[in-house]
Each structure stands twice: as C-alpha cells, then as structure tokens.
Amino acid sequence: MTKASPFELILQQSGGQPFAFDHGDMRTLHFDHKYVQSAMLISAPDKLLLSYTRAMMGFLLFHAAPERILLIGLGGGSLAKYCYRHFPSAHITVLELDAAVIALRDTFMIPADDQRFRVIHADAAVYMQAQKGNIADVIMLDGFSADGPAEELSSSEFYAACLRNLAPGGVLVSNLWDRPVSLTSAIGQALAASDWRIWWCKTSDSHNCIAFFVTGNDAAAFRPLLFNRAKKLDEQFALQLSELAPSFQLVSDQAIQEPG
C-alpha cells in the first residue's frame, strides 16, 4: 500500500476546509487538491510570488497613489500584505466570505486589524450593493471558490456596483482567471452608455487574465505612457510590469480578442 504524502495527509485532515501546506520556505493555501490559491515565502511574507498578483498591481499604471484600497477576496493575503507594506498612508479594507479563510490569517502572517487595515467577514455582492458610492480609489477583485471565480462576483450587476462605488478617477482591477471572453461579454453590459474602458493583459506563465476598468482614455496617447510608467514602477516596486506592458490591450464588447 502506497504511503500518503504529507500533502495528502493534510488534505484528508482538512475535512473540506481551506488549509495551509508548508514545503521548505514556501507556504501555500489550498481549497482542495487541484489548485494553489495563494503562495507565500515564510521568510518574506509580503513578497508577491505569483505572477498574477504582480499583474494586479498594474493598477498603479492608472492610479499611482491610492488613499483607499478595497480588496474582495482575502486568500492568503498576498495583495493585502503587499499594499499594507508599500502604501503606508492608504486605508485598506478586505472583504472575505469564508470564515475559514479568515481563520488562517495568522498562519499567512496577515496584519491584525488597526486604524488603516481591516478584514470584514461579508458577502461582497451584498456589501457592494448596499454602499452609496465613493468608497475606494482602487477595488481589487480576486474572489475565488475552489473551481474558479465566484459566480456571484462575476455578474454584470456586481461589476456595475463596483464601478459605482469607485471614487472619481478610480480603478477596478479584476482577476478573470481563464474565462475572459464569457466574463468580458457580461461585463460589457455593465459598461453600456458609460465612459468606462477595459484594458487587459494575460500573464505569460499562468492562466490568469487581468482586467483594468478605467475612465476613458485615448489608447494611442496612453500606450507610450504605459511603457514609461511600467519602467518607473519596476524600479520602485520590482513588479515586472515592463514585461507585461506589451500584452496590454484595450478591449470593447464589440470585439473581444484574447491576448496571446
């Protein structure tokens, strides 16, 4: 009889709940056996290891100094920890539906709640509909179930609520995972008769497509700025945005082209 691996033993003991697994200096978050939901270096817990998390920080290309950041989906807290460290003047709020994920916050070295950081146990779909607007400069949407993006966070109504709650000049950045065409089609309905535009890119070493919702800009004029900003941000934050910048596309709901 084959002996179960350490991962298999922890999986069996998890009882279907989210769990952490350590391998050397690496600690990962899992909902099941299929996917790594989050990854952290124990020796550097606020470093962004997964390429899609660095790509989501591409909101800095559009909004360089956010004062209020709202994250939807806590996971292992990679983005929350990074923002907490690098934007000391920003107020950061995280919405997380699963209490079992929140219960792992100490395991993933997520800061305790304080005057500028808080984790709220809430259904983001209900929370966002209840808000009256202008609650964040940047909203980062990274809410996942074991099988991919949470369905209740993928509707045009939810995206419309997120956009309505942004401050003027704000940015919504969303991890579309590997379903860009279907999701962007739905999202297009939320943008009808508005001046919102969607820039998006695909990370080279993962399935993740990342979309950035910004108020209208001239693509021809903005693209050179994008490259220059990416270079400067890489010098400051080492996010490797310069490698990602060539894949940025401005999309419309009339012609959705998946980046190569």
The letter for the amino acid at 215 is: T
142 is catalytic: yes
CA distances from 214 to 10, 124, 217, 256 (A): 42, 21, 8, 17
CA-nearest of 166, 184, 171 to 256 is 184
Decide: 38 and 59 in contact? Cβ < 8 Å.
no
Nearby residues of 257 by Cβ (< 8 Å), 6 or more positions away: 249, 251
CA distance readout (Å), 233 to 58, 63, 140, 178, 206: 9, 12, 18, 26, 22
According to DSSP, the β-strands at 148-149 and 166-177 are unpaired
Tokens of 107: 């395991």
Find where tokens 């991890």 sit: 175
Q: Which of 113, 142, 178, 195 is catalytic?
A: 142
CA distance 114 to 208: 32
Give dist(CA 150, CA 101) in Å, integer.
15
Distance CA 69, CA 91 (A): 6
Q: Which residues are catalytic?
A: 142
